[in-house]
Amino acid sequence: MSILPLPANCETLHLERPAPHVLMVRLDRPDASNALNTQMGAELKQIWDALYVDQQDVRCVVLTGTGEKAFCAGGDLKQRNNMTDVQWQQQHALFELGMIAMMNCPIPIIAAVNGAAYGGGCEFVAAADFAYAAETARFALTETSLGIMPGAMGTQNLPRAVGDRRAKEIILTAAPFTAAEALAWGLVNKVVPLPDLLATTLATATRIATNAPISIRQAKKSISMASQTDIALGYKYEIEAYHRMVPTEDRLEGVRAFNEKRQPDFKGR
């Protein structure tokens, strides 16, 4: 029994297990375009924190939205209307902690962008390890048109995905852009028809989940270091991550399965 289990019931999220070792997290406020309110922020943080402490047989996460209209419309401005400065900052502090927890999640997170990803929704896409999008998806970081600016790592993750100059154009204009543009600019990896989005994403998630889970976690951490340090120090980190796998049962199973011409059965040990 995990000391910090995944929540059994959520008000604003729907959790599914559509394939072995795959967890689907649906943003589930379709009447509000899956906008991020305080409760959703708290529930997302709870999930990322739980997976940081104990992966609980989860090897890949798919993050998507309920419905065909929106992935996530960003912060819930109806809830934020008439908030005091203190209330706004307290809510944002929760969102900040949730985004840090998402970025620190050791398990790969794939965003399946089923509709509009505006504001914080677009920041979720940029924070995911990679993303697939429906052809009808739209993206925008609209904060500068509202008297604020991206505050959920948008100014950090977006330049890493699309480059500084494109990120400045996106953020400073606050203009929406299409799934095709998101693909061309590097924000998403693949664009497919909406009816095919989840099947395509789950096929990739399932493939990841069949690989050695310790290897996946160590590789994810090492790749993330590449944009945070110079190549010499990054390579030292890579080698430290690599040697973590040498004494594992999974490394022995992988080599054995290769020589026996069969699929490996990884246990995460």
Q: What percent of the chain has pLDDT over 70?
A: 100
* pLDDT for the residue numbered 227: 86
| Lowest mean pLDDT segment, chosen from 2-11, 34-43, 171-180 | 2-11
* pLDDT for the residue numbered 75: 93
State pLDDT tens for residues 62-75: 999 999 999 999 99
Give the chain's domains with CATH numbers.
Answer: 13-209 (3.90.226.10), 211-259 (1.10.12.10)
* pLDDT for the residue numbered 8: 84
Instruction: Average the pLDDT over 15-19 and give the result.
Output: 96
pLDDT band at 2 (very low <50, low <70, confident <90, very high): confident
CB 173 within 8 A of CB 108: no
* pLDDT for the residue numbered 245: 87
Instruction: Average the pLDDT over 151-172 and give the result.
Output: 97
* pLDDT for the residue numbered 34: 98
Instruction: Average the pLDDT over 16-39 and give the result.
Output: 97
* pLDDT for the residue numbered 145: 96
Catalytic residue among 43, 143, 181, 238: 143
Flag whether pLDDT at 54 surpasses 80.
yes
* pLDDT for the residue numbered 107: 97
pLDDT band at 268 (very low <50, low <70, confident <90, very high): confident
Flag whether pLDDT at 11 surpasses 80.
yes
| C-alpha to C-alpha distance for 132 and 128, rounded to whole angstroms | 10
Strands 138-140 and 13-19: unpaired
β partners of residue 15:
25
CB 22 within 8 A of CB 205: yes
| C-alpha to C-alpha distance for 50 and 7, rounded to whole angstroms | 9
Prediction pTM value? 0.94
E-strand ranges in the chain read: 13-19, 22-27, 60-65, 70-72, 109-113, 116-118, 130-134, 138-140, 177-178, 190-192
Which is nearest to 217 in space by CA: 105, 54, 130, 53? 105
Helix intervals (H) in the chain? 38-53, 77-80, 85-104, 120-127, 154-162, 164-173, 179-185, 197-210, 213-225, 231-243, 249-259
143 belongs to the catalytic site: yes
Q: Is the dihedral of CA 196, 119, 221, 66 positive or negative?
A: negative
DSSP run (H or E) holding 228: none
Catalytic residue among 43, 96, 123, 240: 123
Instruction: Average the pLDDT over 87-94 and give the result.
Output: 96
State pLDDT tens for residues 227-266: 889 999 999 989 999 999 899 999 998 989 999 999 999 9
Q: Name the more confident of 115 and 8.
A: 115
